[in-house]
A and B are shown apart, each in its own frame.
Chain A
Amino acid sequence: MYGYLVRRLLQFAAVLLLGSIAVWGFTFALPGDPATVLLGPDASEAELEATRERLGLGGSIVEQYVSWIGHAVAGDLGDSYYSGQPVVGELLDRIPATVQLAGFAMALTLLIGVPVGIVVALRPYAVVGRVLQGYLTAGLAVPAFWLGLLLIIVLAVQLRWLPASSDFVPLWQDPGGALTATILPATAIAVHTSSVTARFLATSLGEVMGKDYIRTARAKGVPERDVIRRHALRNASLPTVTIVGLQLGGFLGGTVVIEAVFNYPGLGRLLYTAIGERDYALVQGGVLFVVAAFLLLNLLVDVFYAVLDPRIRLT
């Protein structure tokens, strides 16, 4: 177990290091001196000087990276060129909105995906199974952002039941308001992701159902419900855990288009706006955050995976 954890931690550190180098190198890939790239054309000499100091420009390339990452770890990612505010503050402002949308979307994904996956696996040729398989095929083919547009056209424009653009209403302040504001973007995302999850679960559950230990469990008289719940689902859930972890990571920063459709003030929209405004300090900080969060999430999934499946710890 410990060997596995140590190996995973080392991998995590290596990829995070690579990622931070790539994000740091981003400013060098753009034309112009990095301080000017980050601060924009009309920065004062004093601002430029402060940024050059943070970036360690003038030192060797290693010193420059160390200076930058040192400040980054201490929470200094520079200032946004557009707003003049610290990048870290701008990111922190948007993270709750993104996390809330991700939470809603993931809850819906599991609420739809898990039952659908189970039914499709256990009753592939029954009417229900066929209908749900149709849902899976459709769900995979419908782009989330277009579904969002359709939901707006029908529910907001035609029926006027829900708002066309979604503000961020914190769940802990107004649960009902948060639900109405988040339900449309979350649904648009979840129809696709639940189809992916359900397909994975159906595949692995279908494989597991053919295994000898299921036949043994049935032969020794275990009720079918327990065979499925305790023997089949447990084993089949493993690949699904991986894909769900990847999806959750994708929700942080991967919902740029959905957030644009709904005018939702999340991290994706912040980054997209920053790109439009050439606010590269914000882009840099945002991508660094997304990469770090994604890697951390994956590390947690892998640890969870090892807890679920003892075989993993040994390989």
Chain B
Amino acid sequence: MSTAPNAPTPAPRRRLASLRRFARSRSAVAGAAGLLVLAALALFAPLVAPFDPAAQDGEPLLGPSGAHLLGTDQLGRDILSRLIYGARASLVAAAGAAAVGAGIGVPLGLLAGYLGRWVDAVAMRLVDLLLAVPGILLALVIIVVLGPGRLNLILAIGIGAVPEFARLTRVATLSIRDRDFVLAARGMGASTPDTMVRTVLPNVLGPIVIQLVVTASMAVVVEAGLTFLGLGTPPPAPSWGGMLQDARSYLYQSPSYGLFPGLCLVATVFCLDRIGRGLQLAVSGSGPHVAARVTTGGAV
């Protein structure tokens, strides 16, 4: 085969190898399976949930029992059914925020890394500024400006994830900008935008994919936190954060209520964390001490 010296392994073959490494990690596969189950529950909630999540057909604040497996909330609604429907809010926020973060952050990082000079300076100062506001506070302020609502909630959480995407993409771009295969593409007449999108971007995808998962887990927690404060997912729709807010008001009457929505959050974040670690192993292929990449956004 006659490939240019220094050319990276063709992307499809490399991806297959990464996928195989991912599949070998049992905990990563378990995490992916857990997430799939959760997504299926959310998608088929009407078929799976034993009750209508809005129906007030039980005694209020019952503990777990045969009729209501996890008990009822302050309005007599079935907690299990509300948890199943509540997965929707969390997963939508997770996917949406990751998409927003990558959608803004990756182009920003690509431009900063590839063009350098003042573009880099301006982009990085913007990133520094976004980093200077704690994620939850940033989201609160954005919601104040944009107003409440599902789409604005996703934007608010996603913007907080922009800096990480931008920094990762920039560093990865810098590391390959002057490699032979990029110069070759340029030499063959590819324009700057073309080189960035077709030659550079495919070769910096690894860290971006991992960051998508990290962002999703951050978004799940931030969405719950914002809804707990009453500024996230609007009330009639069930959401785990909103249920925790209710549970906090009835700590003395029904201590078990506060347990279940939190366990759902933990399980979701746990699955995403396993997937993230598995991807890290798959991409870097190193031993037990894989570079830790954790955002501080989870400290909500």
Contact = CB atoms under 8 A, between A and B. Distances in A.
A104 interface: no
Given A14-B125, A290-B137, A260 B228 contact: yes
A18 B299 contact: no
A199 interface: yes
B292 interface: yes
Interface centre among B134, B135, B231, B255 (most CB of A within 10 A): B134
Nearest to B294: A196
Contacts of A247: 296, 299
B51 interface: no
Chain A contact-residue range equals 35 or more
Interface string B245-260: 0011001100100110
Given A144-B299, A152-B251, A153-B258, A256 B136 contact: yes
A26 interface: yes
Contact of B133 (A11, A153, A268, A287): A287
Interface in A247-284: 247, 249-250, 252-254, 256-258, 260-261, 268, 271-272, 275-276, 280, 283
Nearest to A149: B258
A120 to B, nearest CB: 9
A124 B290 CA distance: 12
Contact of B137 (A145, A254, A258): A254
B294 A249 contact: no
B128 A149 contact: no
Nearest to B300: A257
Contacts of A260: 228-229
A164 B249 CA distance: 12
Nearest to B265: A143
B221 to A, nearest CB: 5
Contacts of A168: none
Contacts of A140: 269, 273, 294, 298
B289 A207 contact: yes
Contact of A141 (B125, B224, B252, B266): B266
A131 interface: no
B225 A257 contact: yes
B134 A157 contact: no
B262 interface: yes
Interface string A160-183: 000010000000000000000000
A192 to B, nearest CB: 5
Q: Which 6 A-B pairs have the closest CB atoms?
A: A254-B134, A206-B289, A146-B262, A199-B292, A141-B270, A257-B225
Given A158-B255, A295-B132, 7 more contacts: A142-B269, A143-B262, A196-B296, A206-B288, A246-B131, A290-B133, A298-B132
Interface of B: 125-126, 128-129, 131-137, 140-141, 144-145, 221, 224-225, 228-231, 244, 247-248, 251-252, 255, 258-259, 261-262, 265-267, 269-270, 273, 288-292, 294, 296, 298-300
Interface of A: 11, 14-15, 18-19, 22, 26, 29-30, 121, 124, 137-138, 140-146, 149-150, 152-153, 157-158, 164, 189, 192-193, 196, 199-200, 202-203, 206-207, 243, 246-247, 249-250, 252-254, 256-258, 260-261, 268, 271-272, 275-276, 280, 283, 287, 290-291, 294-295, 298
